[in-house]
Amino acid sequence: MAHQLVRDDPAGAQAVKDGADLRKAHSDLQDRLGEADNERSRRQKLRHARPDLADRVTREELALEDAERIAQAEAAELKAQRWAATVNLVETVMLADRPAEPQETIELFDRDVEKQKGEAPITAERLRNAVDYLSGLADLWEDPP
């Protein structure tokens, strides 16, 4: 214990020489070393995940805790966007990739429900744009970037 105090905390070693409790000084040193290791680990994790935020922490433009919160919030947002995009694509493919005739979908379509959704009305042009978009997705699906 004393050797570690002399090596890692000269002020603590001096305090022990002056009468402070060795066990307490050593315990305090261990706490500080643990906190430093924890912060170093958190900084490394942030650097790996978000180097842009880690740089701002290094330049003291942003506190580590704030950077971690931003990274976590943005990761959660991206996860939600990925989930929504996936669900939307699955539902779109399920609608379009079936043996039913297009006429059946037209007959089942309810303009009142469309209005309740608050989206722009579906038009022939929008359907053609959707076909072009899905065609582009299919091309990327076969040969991802």
Give domain status of residue 139, yes or no: yes
Give domain status of residue 51, yes or no: no
Average pLDDT across the chain, whole number: 89
Give domain status of residue 71, yes or no: no
Give domain status of residue 136, yes or no: yes
DSSP label at 98? S
* 60-117 pLDDT, tens digit each: 999 999 999 999 999 999 999 999 999 999 998 988 887 778 888 889 899 999 999 9
Q: Provide the number of structural domains found in the chain.
A: 1
Give domain status of residue 12, yes or no: no
pLDDT at res. 52: 97
Distances (CA, A) of 76 to 19, 72, 122: 52, 6, 31
Please name the residue that has the structure tokens 């089942």: 108
Q: How many CB atoms lie within 10 A of CB 9?
A: 18
- Residue 108: which domain range? 99-145
Give domain status of residue 114, yes or no: yes
pLDDT at res. 5: 67
Is 145's pLDDT higher than 70? no
Give domain status of residue 125, yes or no: yes
Alpha helices in the chain (DSSP H): 2-8, 10-17, 22-49, 51-58, 64-96, 102-108, 111-117, 124-142
